[in-house]
Amino acid sequence: MDSLDKALQTQIDNLQTRAGKTLEQLFNIIHESGLSKHGQIRDTLKKDLGMGHGDANTLAHLYLKSLEDDGETSEEPSLEALIDIIYSGPKADLRPIYDKLMAAIEAFGDFEIAPKKGDVSLRRKKQFAMITPATKTRVEVGLNMKGVDATQRLIELPKGRMCQYKVDMTGVDEVDGTLIAWIKQAYDTSG
Protein backbone atom coordinates (compact mmCIF):
# COMPACT_ATOMS: atom_id res chain seq x y z
CA MET A 1 0.00 0.00 0.00
CA ASP A 2 1.50 3.37 -1.04
CA SER A 3 1.36 6.49 1.13
CA LEU A 4 -1.68 7.87 -0.74
CA ASP A 5 -3.66 4.68 -0.07
CA LYS A 6 -2.54 4.76 3.59
CA ALA A 7 -3.64 8.38 3.93
CA LEU A 8 -7.07 7.60 2.44
CA GLN A 9 -7.50 4.55 4.67
CA THR A 10 -6.57 6.65 7.73
CA GLN A 11 -9.13 9.26 6.67
CA ILE A 12 -11.80 6.56 6.24
CA ASP A 13 -10.95 5.05 9.64
CA ASN A 14 -11.15 8.47 11.32
CA LEU A 15 -14.39 9.28 9.49
CA GLN A 16 -16.00 6.05 10.77
CA THR A 17 -14.79 6.76 14.31
CA ARG A 18 -16.19 10.31 14.29
CA ALA A 19 -19.52 9.14 12.81
CA GLY A 20 -19.77 6.13 15.14
CA LYS A 21 -20.76 4.00 12.16
CA THR A 22 -19.07 1.62 9.76
CA LEU A 23 -18.54 2.54 6.13
CA GLU A 24 -21.24 0.01 5.19
CA GLN A 25 -23.73 1.61 7.59
CA LEU A 26 -22.92 5.06 6.19
CA PHE A 27 -23.35 3.81 2.61
CA ASN A 28 -26.73 2.32 3.60
CA ILE A 29 -27.84 5.69 4.99
CA ILE A 30 -26.89 7.35 1.71
CA HIS A 31 -28.57 4.62 -0.33
CA GLU A 32 -31.80 4.92 1.66
CA SER A 33 -31.83 8.70 1.13
CA GLY A 34 -32.28 8.11 -2.61
CA LEU A 35 -29.84 10.91 -3.40
CA SER A 36 -27.53 10.47 -6.38
CA LYS A 37 -25.68 13.76 -6.81
CA HIS A 38 -22.41 14.42 -4.99
CA GLY A 39 -23.38 17.86 -3.65
CA GLN A 40 -26.77 16.67 -2.41
CA ILE A 41 -25.22 13.70 -0.62
CA ARG A 42 -22.45 15.83 0.92
CA ASP A 43 -24.87 18.51 2.14
CA THR A 44 -27.28 15.93 3.59
CA LEU A 45 -24.48 14.18 5.47
CA LYS A 46 -23.38 17.52 6.92
CA LYS A 47 -26.92 18.45 7.94
CA ASP A 48 -28.30 15.10 9.09
CA LEU A 49 -25.19 13.49 10.59
CA GLY A 50 -23.35 16.64 11.62
CA MET A 51 -20.30 15.70 9.55
CA GLY A 52 -17.65 18.23 8.70
CA HIS A 53 -17.29 19.27 5.08
CA GLY A 54 -14.18 17.14 4.48
CA ASP A 55 -15.68 13.94 5.89
CA ALA A 56 -18.99 14.44 4.07
CA ASN A 57 -17.21 15.24 0.82
CA THR A 58 -14.97 12.18 1.07
CA LEU A 59 -17.86 9.89 1.99
CA ALA A 60 -20.00 11.17 -0.91
CA HIS A 61 -17.10 10.57 -3.29
CA LEU A 62 -16.45 7.07 -1.93
CA TYR A 63 -20.14 6.14 -2.15
CA LEU A 64 -20.53 7.28 -5.75
CA LYS A 65 -17.23 5.60 -6.67
CA SER A 66 -18.49 2.34 -5.15
CA LEU A 67 -21.58 2.52 -7.37
CA GLU A 68 -19.39 3.01 -10.44
CA ASP A 69 -17.17 0.11 -9.41
CA ASP A 70 -20.26 -2.09 -8.98
CA GLY A 71 -21.52 -1.05 -12.41
CA GLU A 72 -24.48 0.79 -10.88
CA THR A 73 -24.70 4.17 -12.46
CA SER A 74 -27.39 6.38 -11.12
CA GLU A 75 -29.99 7.34 -13.66
CA GLU A 76 -30.29 10.97 -14.62
CA PRO A 77 -33.61 12.44 -13.60
CA SER A 78 -36.20 12.75 -16.37
CA LEU A 79 -36.93 16.04 -18.10
CA GLU A 80 -40.28 16.18 -16.33
CA ALA A 81 -38.63 15.59 -12.93
CA LEU A 82 -36.20 18.46 -13.54
CA ILE A 83 -39.07 20.77 -14.52
CA ASP A 84 -40.95 19.68 -11.39
CA ILE A 85 -37.94 20.72 -9.29
CA ILE A 86 -37.78 24.17 -10.93
CA TYR A 87 -41.51 24.71 -10.35
CA SER A 88 -41.68 23.45 -6.77
CA GLY A 89 -42.14 25.10 -3.42
CA PRO A 90 -43.07 28.78 -3.60
CA LYS A 91 -42.81 28.73 -7.42
CA ALA A 92 -45.27 25.83 -7.90
CA ASP A 93 -48.15 28.21 -8.70
CA LEU A 94 -46.24 29.38 -11.80
CA ARG A 95 -46.24 25.93 -13.44
CA PRO A 96 -49.46 26.55 -15.44
CA ILE A 97 -47.77 29.50 -17.17
CA TYR A 98 -44.82 27.28 -18.15
CA ASP A 99 -47.15 24.51 -19.33
CA LYS A 100 -49.21 26.86 -21.51
CA LEU A 101 -46.05 28.38 -23.01
CA MET A 102 -44.61 24.96 -23.82
CA ALA A 103 -47.88 23.73 -25.36
CA ALA A 104 -47.75 26.66 -27.80
CA ILE A 105 -44.01 26.40 -28.50
CA GLU A 106 -44.12 22.65 -29.18
CA ALA A 107 -46.29 23.39 -32.22
CA PHE A 108 -43.34 25.21 -33.87
CA GLY A 109 -41.36 22.04 -34.61
CA ASP A 110 -38.20 20.37 -33.29
CA PHE A 111 -36.08 21.95 -30.59
CA GLU A 112 -34.12 20.94 -27.49
CA ILE A 113 -35.38 21.54 -23.96
CA ALA A 114 -32.48 21.98 -21.55
CA PRO A 115 -33.44 22.48 -17.89
CA LYS A 116 -30.77 24.17 -15.84
CA LYS A 117 -30.63 25.01 -12.15
CA GLY A 118 -33.46 27.53 -12.17
CA ASP A 119 -34.60 27.90 -15.76
CA VAL A 120 -35.34 26.07 -18.97
CA SER A 121 -33.34 26.86 -22.10
CA LEU A 122 -34.97 26.21 -25.49
CA ARG A 123 -32.52 25.61 -28.35
CA ARG A 124 -32.29 24.79 -32.00
CA LYS A 125 -28.80 25.47 -33.39
CA LYS A 126 -28.63 28.18 -30.73
CA GLN A 127 -30.77 29.22 -27.79
CA PHE A 128 -33.92 31.04 -28.86
CA ALA A 129 -35.71 31.36 -25.52
CA MET A 130 -35.27 30.87 -21.80
CA ILE A 131 -38.17 30.42 -19.39
CA THR A 132 -37.46 31.29 -15.78
CA PRO A 133 -39.64 31.47 -12.68
CA ALA A 134 -37.85 34.69 -11.71
CA THR A 135 -39.76 35.17 -8.45
CA LYS A 136 -42.56 33.31 -6.72
CA THR A 137 -45.08 35.50 -8.60
CA ARG A 138 -43.41 36.14 -11.97
CA VAL A 139 -42.20 34.09 -14.95
CA GLU A 140 -39.65 35.68 -17.26
CA VAL A 141 -39.34 34.65 -20.90
CA GLY A 142 -35.97 35.64 -22.37
CA LEU A 143 -35.83 35.89 -26.16
CA ASN A 144 -32.94 35.90 -28.61
CA MET A 145 -33.87 37.82 -31.73
CA LYS A 146 -32.61 40.88 -33.53
CA GLY A 147 -34.19 43.82 -35.29
CA VAL A 148 -37.28 44.04 -33.11
CA ASP A 149 -38.39 47.28 -31.53
CA ALA A 150 -38.78 47.08 -27.77
CA THR A 151 -42.16 47.88 -26.28
CA GLN A 152 -43.41 48.39 -22.75
CA ARG A 153 -44.00 44.62 -22.63
CA LEU A 154 -41.01 43.44 -24.76
CA ILE A 155 -38.13 44.78 -22.71
CA GLU A 156 -34.74 45.14 -24.39
CA LEU A 157 -31.90 43.87 -22.20
CA PRO A 158 -28.36 45.28 -21.98
CA LYS A 159 -25.73 43.83 -24.32
CA GLY A 160 -23.85 40.83 -22.96
CA ARG A 161 -26.89 39.16 -21.38
CA MET A 162 -27.95 35.65 -22.37
CA CYS A 163 -31.01 37.05 -24.17
CA GLN A 164 -31.66 40.29 -26.04
CA TYR A 165 -35.24 40.76 -24.75
CA LYS A 166 -37.48 39.63 -21.94
CA VAL A 167 -41.20 39.49 -21.24
CA ASP A 168 -42.49 39.26 -17.67
CA MET A 169 -45.72 37.42 -16.86
CA THR A 170 -47.72 36.89 -13.71
CA GLY A 171 -50.68 34.98 -15.13
CA VAL A 172 -51.62 32.34 -17.71
CA ASP A 173 -53.72 34.90 -19.60
CA GLU A 174 -50.51 36.72 -20.57
CA VAL A 175 -49.51 33.77 -22.77
CA ASP A 176 -51.20 35.36 -25.77
CA GLY A 177 -50.79 35.64 -29.54
CA THR A 178 -48.36 38.55 -29.30
CA LEU A 179 -46.00 36.69 -26.96
CA ILE A 180 -46.20 33.48 -29.00
CA ALA A 181 -45.41 35.48 -32.19
CA TRP A 182 -42.27 36.91 -30.56
CA ILE A 183 -41.18 33.44 -29.43
CA LYS A 184 -41.88 32.09 -32.95
CA GLN A 185 -39.72 34.84 -34.46
CA ALA A 186 -36.88 33.92 -32.08
CA TYR A 187 -37.39 30.22 -32.94
CA ASP A 188 -37.32 30.89 -36.72
CA THR A 189 -34.02 32.77 -36.51
CA SER A 190 -32.27 30.23 -34.27
CA GLY A 191 -31.61 27.48 -36.66
The C-alpha atoms of residue 57 and residue 54 are separated, in whole angstroms, by 5
β pairing state of 165-169 and 127-133:
unpaired
Query: Does residue 176 share a domain with residue 147?
Result: yes
- Using left for φ > 0, alpha for ψ between -120 and 50, and beta otherwise, residue 147 falls in left
Query: Does residue 96 share a domain with residue 12?
Result: no
CATH value at residue 182: 3.90.1150
Query: Does residue 163 share a domain with residue 83?
Result: yes
The C-alpha atoms of residue 84 and residue 94 are separated, in whole angstroms, by 11
**For the segment 141-176, what is each residue's pLDDT rounded down to a tens digit?**
999 998 899 999 999 999 888 899 999 999 999 999
Query: Does residue 65 share a domain with residue 20?
Result: yes
The C-alpha atoms of residue 109 and residue 152 are separated, in whole angstroms, by 29
Query: Please, which pLDDT band fits residue 2 given cuts at 50, 70 and 90?
Result: low
Query: Does residue 59 share a domain with residue 87?
Result: no
Q: Tell me if the pTM is above 0.75.
A: no
Count: domains in the chain: 2
**For the segment 30-42, what is each residue's pLDDT rounded down to a tens digit?**
888 888 887 888 8
Domain assignment present for residue 74? The answer is: no
Query: Does residue 126 share a domain with residue 178?
Result: yes
**For the segment 44-84, what is each residue's pLDDT rounded down to a tens digit?**
888 988 988 778 878 887 888 777 665 554 455 567 778 88
pLDDT score for 115? 85
